[in-house]
Amino acid sequence: MEKLSKVGNGIIGSEIIKISQQIKEISKTTPVANLTIGDFSSKLWPIPSGLTNRIIDSYNDNLTNYPNSMGEINLRESVSKHIKHQFGLDYSTDEILVGGGVRPLIYTVYKATVNPSDEVIYPTPSWNNNHYCFLHNAHKQEIHCLPENSFFPTVEDIEGRINDKTSLICICSPQNPTGRVIPSETLKGICDVIVKENKIRASQVDSRPLYLFFDQIYSDLTERELFSHPLYVCPEIKDYLICADGISKSLSATGVRVGWIFGPQDVIGKLTEIFSHIGAWAPKPEQNAVAEFLNNNLEIHLLHTEFTRGEFMYYSTLICDKFEELKERGYRVDCQRPEGGIYVSVYFDYSKSFNSSEEFVYHLINNYGLGIVPFEFFGSKENKGWFRISIGNVDDDNINNILDIIENSVIKLHQYVNSMVF
């Protein structure tokens, strides 16, 4: 007899968290270049000192009671100004909901828009949509995307899967795990399709809108001219658009847990009611600190410029250069250069010689000290051989060692696979 619900019995924990925890155990005895988790080393990439000081001041001021259920008004005011300054978008405080990071907010979006047996369309690879579908008993409409399309769906891919059961389409740009930005013409086409579908549904009895969930959490770590927003290319999408953002990546503040979503006021209102039962609010001191820090437009601009045009571009370029050099030397590897975020997509043809991507990953970890994440953990079984590298643990002190580990891994893999008897 099963002891739990179907969800309780069937749910799979985060594969990325699992592998990162195992690397931590292995690292106690064997050095491993851990390039798995989408996080920042707090020693290499601490949060801005101004934010740290504001958090401390907020605790000293005893701002430790329950926050506003939508998020503190001063933070929502700052987020509203931030959205306007960074992206030129107009959203009022009543169109913004703050949470303890973006994860519980995404869960709430699914809960509010997706009925059991509804269909959710999303590309693979992509982060966690498969698990959110399972948690809500939704049917997955996965679009298996190819490297030649930068792992994004085409307009035709999306349009061909929409039916009267489709309630949500999920797009992340820059994408996790690839770091690629969706082309503006593709984004426009997808938005146009959604608007067209909603015009049809508006004339139908008992129909619900089709929403676009747009995860832009890595947008501040992208060259602004490369980034395209749904509202830039299709203003009509606004009534059907819910966006997610926060400070986890843009301020290397993954553990501070302050994120937000913004969208139509009536939708945000219902999301707030659901969220009040979840209670996954960001702590009030952190909210107050972020509210003050977001007003420092110049400091934030300099921080993003330093990372986007400096460290990120520098380290990701070095890693891609290394893979291209190895490819030119005849090794069966490849790389796709990112356009934003903190990830690099790399390819090992050698993984096809192993029974599974997971077996290959642990071979790299245990034998060569290299920890990376397979696209299979992002729902993409079709793209075997592709992996995500995170640069959150990379700096000037370890980049050369990491490049040496990558080269050594490829050379030894080549020798190992060629020695295998099939």
3-state secondary structure 349-370: HHHHHCCCHHHHHHHHHHHHCE
Residue 167 has pLDDT above 70, yes or no: yes
Residue 305 has pLDDT above 90, yes or no: no
Q: pLDDT confidence of 388, banded at 50, 70, 90?
A: very high
Q: What is the pLDDT of residue 265?
A: 98
Pairwise CA distance, residues 120 & 161, whole Å? 10
Q: What is the pLDDT of residue 382?
A: 74
For residue 377, the 8-state DSSP code is G
CA distances from 301 to 84, 172, 179, 294, 296 (A): 14, 22, 20, 11, 9
Structure tokens at 200: 């049809």
- Name which of 113, 335, 342 is nearest 208 in CA terms: 113
Structure tokens at 112: 């509010």
Q: What is the pLDDT of residue 271?
A: 97
Mean pLDDT score, 88-95: 98
* More confident call, 139 vs 29: 139
Q: Which amino acid is at 311?
A: E
CB count, 10 Å around CB of 156?
10
Q: pLDDT confidence of 79, banded at 50, 70, 90?
A: very high
**Sequence-distant (≥ 6) Cβ neighbours of residue 155 within 8 angstroms:** 186, 189, 190, 192, 193
* More confident call, 24 vs 326: 326
DSSP H stretches of helix in 146-238: 155-159, 184-202, 230-233
Structural domain boundaries in the chain? 6-45+300-416, 49-297
Q: How far is CA 87 from the centre of its chain?
A: 19
Q: What is the pLDDT of residue 421?
A: 56
This prediction has a pTM of 0.96
> 6-45+300-416 domain in CATH 3.50.50.60?
no
Q: What is the pLDDT of residue 381?
A: 79
Q: What is the pLDDT of residue 302?
A: 83
Tell me which of 37-46, 60-69, 156-165, 244-253 is least confident: 37-46
Residue listed under structure tokens 């010689």:
353
Tell me which of 165-174, 215-224, 362-371 is least confident: 215-224
Residue 155 has pLDDT above 90, yes or no: yes
Mean pLDDT score, 294-323: 87
Fold of 49-297: Aspartate Aminotransferase; domain 2 (3.40.640)
Q: Are strands 96-99 and 259-262 parallel, antiparallel or unpaired?
A: antiparallel
pLDDT one-digit tens code per residue, 97-128: 999 999 999 999 999 999 999 999 999 999 99
Provide the residue count of the chain: 422
Coil, helix or strand for 222? strand
Residue 231 has pLDDT above 60, yes or no: yes
CB of 194 within 8 A of CB of 237? yes
Residue 308 has pLDDT above 90, yes or no: no
pLDDT one-digit tens code per residue, 198-225: 999 999 988 999 999 999 999 998 887 8
